[in-house]
Every structure is written in structure tokens, then in C-alpha cells.
Amino acid sequence: MINYNSLVKKWAEELELYEIQEAQNLVEWLLEHHLGLRRVDMMHFLDEKDLPQSLLDDFARLKTGEPIQQIIGKAPFYGREFLVTKDTLIPRNETEELVHLIIKENPENGLKILDIGTGTGCIPITLSLEMKNAEVFATDISESALEIADKNAQELHAPVQFVKSDILKEEIPIEGLDILVSNPPYIPIHEKSSMHTNVVDFEPGLALFVPNEDPLLFYRKIAEAGKKAIKPGGRLYFEIHENFGKAVKDLLLEMGYSKAEIIQDLNGKDRIVRASMN
Ligand SMILES: C[S@@+](CC[C@H](N)C(=O)[O-])C[C@H]1O[C@@H](n2cnc3c(N)ncnc32)[C@H](O)[C@@H]1O
């Protein structure tokens, strides 16, 4: 027999790809998922030979660096759970901050909103559920991501309309927007070698990377298309790479947007740029 606490410690030491504190959190997350046990159950005793095979299989996957959200098939975002697969980016805390800002700054009723590059649909679904009578649309180039986003919308009862579209090649399919939001791919490919295995080996490259020589590619295309799609007085919200705040802000001002502003995340890093359409 082994108690919960000792099992967490023992397994965390086997997760060599992670720092010890993060490894412990991951083991606890897995034990909660499979056994319903939590940290408060630290004196609960377990017989290792009775642990379910599904838990042992998932622990073996965790050791390879596969993200726990992909292993258990879901990730938390803004107080709800979203299905995730290898085809969708795992929703991040920074994106919760982006969504929170939009909700806080736009209390009006019935706003028309579009999210470009939607992944799991975490942004439009949350906005649809948290804002008053918003009419919400979302696009992605990835058919498999859109399938998951649509499932999430159905499970969470969010009336979001999804459209397959390649923002680098096509115009924005909706006009008269009050809010255009995007967390597009923004990591220059040269950063790949310094990123954690659990991101580069398991999350979709299509969601993450941009060419080194043109890191603002998506911002330029979306802002260009936004000039037609956003109505006067409407707003554009971008999640950004911490190194490109000023570059994105300057780009938007050059393109005719006004009131461009860089907003930092909870870690004090430049993370959001917001601008208005005149
Ligand atoms: C950084 S992920 C963001 C996903 C989600 N919005 C989130 O915040 O968790 C970028 C998304 O853009 C999509 N994408 C990549 N290239 C695209 C393109 N050319 N047109 C539209 N979407 C694209 C990817 O499939 C991916 O879902």
C-alpha cells in the first residue's frame, strides 16, 4: 500500500521532462481524472497493483511529454472545459486574459464578433456565453480544429457559427463587425529549438509558427481584411508574441487604425494589442 502523497512524489520523479513542481501537478491532475482523488485526500491509501490500467497507460503517455490536456482530451478555459485533440492548440491562460479584457471593455448588448484562427473555439464560445446576446462567428483553416470547435459549442450550448477560411488567401467572410479578435500563429520558427517537447512534438505546428522573415504575417493580413470587415467605431483585439508589441501597434497605426495600445499579461509581458477602427 502507498498513500496518495507518496505516489504523487514517486511518479513525479519519473516525469523527467518536467520541473519537479510541475510534474507533481501533472500527476495530481491525472489521479484526479482517473480516481477522483485530490490533494485533500493525501492520506488516502492505494494498492499499486490495483491501479486501473487506463491510469497506468496515461501515465506512460505523460512520460513521453504528451500534454495532459491531450491525454485526458480536455482543458479548462474561463471556468469551462473544452475538448482538445492533437489538431487544436491547448487553450492558454494568456488567452483567458484576452477574453476577459474583451468582456470587460464591451458591455453592450448584441455585438457582432468574429474570431479568426479559432482552434478549440475557446474564444468565441466564451464570448458568446459571457456577453449579452452577442452574435458570434469564428474561422479556422483547419477542418479538424473546426470539428472540435463545433462539438465544444454544442456541448456548452453556445450559438457560434463556424466557417472554414484561410485568412492568408481569402477575405473575411463577414462584415459590420463590432469586434474582430485573433490569437493567430505568432512564434518565429527559429524559436522551435528552445521550446518544450510537450509543445513542439505534440501541438499543431500550423497553430504556432510563422516564418522568421515575416513574423507579423497574420497580423498584417487580418488587419488589412479587418478594414473592410470592422464597422466604424469597432475594435480589433490581437494576442501577440511578447517581443512584437510595438511592431504590431505601429503596424496598426500605419494601416489607419486608431487608439492602438499594448496591454500586458499577468506576468508583465506584452500580450495584447487593441485598436479601433475610425
Ligand atoms: C495560436 S492558435 C489559436 C487557437 C485558439 N484561438 C486559441 O486561442 O486557443 C492559431 C489558430 O490559427 C489557425 N490558422 C493557422 N493558419 C491559418 C490560416 N491561414 N487561416 C485561418 N486560420 C489559421 C490554426 O489552425 C490555429 O487553430
H helices within 15-63, ranges in order?
Answer: 20-35, 53-63
Residue 186 and residue 265 share a domain: yes
Domain boundary residue among 32, 64, 96? 64
Of the pLDDT bands very low, low, confident and very high (cuts 50, 70, 90), residue 269 is: very high
Would residue 80 count as lying in a domain?
no
When divided into structural domains, the chain yields a total of 2
**267 CA distance to ligand 1 middle (Å):** 23
Would residue 77 count as lying in a domain?
no
Which residues make beta-bridge pairs with 46? 2
| Cell 479578435 belongs to residue | 181
Domain span including residue 25: 2-64
41: cell is 485526500
Nearest-angstrom CA–CA distance, 122 and 94: 12
Would residue 215 count as lying in a domain?
yes
Atom of ligand 1 nearest to the CA of 88: 27
Cβ contacts of residue 107 below 8 Å, gap of 6+?
Answer: 132
Residue 242 and residue 182 share a domain: yes
Residue 254 and residue 167 share a domain: yes
Residue 257 and residue 225 share a domain: yes
Would residue 271 count as lying in a domain?
yes
Would residue 126 count as lying in a domain?
yes
Determine which of 1-5, 19-23, 79-83, 164-168 has the lowest per-residue pLDDT on average.
1-5
Are residues 124 and 98 in contact, defined by beta-carbon separation less than 8 angstroms?
A: no
Residue 159 and residue 259 share a domain: yes
Look at residue 81 and tell me whether its pLDDT is greater than 90: yes
Query: Which residue is closest in CA terms to ligand 1's atom 27?
Result: 119
Query: Which residue is closest in CA terms to ligand 1's atom 8?
Result: 183
Residue 114 and residue 29 share a domain: no
Residue 22 and residue 134 share a domain: no
Are residues 273 and 263 in contact, defined by beta-carbon separation less than 8 angstroms?
A: yes
Q: What is the pLDDT of residues 16-73, one digit of tens each?
A: 999 999 999 999 999 999 999 888 888 888 998 999 999 999 999 999 999 999 999 9
Helix, strand, coil shares, percent, the chain, to 5? 45, 20, 35
Would residue 45 count as lying in a domain?
yes
CATH of the domain at 235: 3.40.50.150
Would residue 70 count as lying in a domain?
no
Q: What is the mean pLDDT of residues 249-264?
A: 98
Residue 194 and residue 130 share a domain: yes
Residue 206 and residue 131 share a domain: yes
Q: What is the pLDDT of residues 87-128, one digit of tens each?
A: 999 999 999 999 999 999 999 999 999 999 999 999 999 999
Q: Is 20 exposed, middle or buried (0-12, 13-18, 19+ CB in 10 A)?
A: exposed
Q: What is the pLDDT of residues 151-192, one digit of tens each?
A: 999 999 999 999 999 999 999 989 999 999 999 999 999 999
Q: Is 64 annotated as a binding residue?
A: no
Residue 214 and residue 168 share a domain: yes
Virtual torsion, Cα 162, 167, 171, 172, nearest 10 deg: 40
Nearest-angstrom CA–CA distance, 115 and 50: 46
Would residue 71 count as lying in a domain?
no
Give the model's pLDDT for residue 40: 84
Cβ contacts of residue 100 below 8 Å, gap of 6+?
Answer: 78
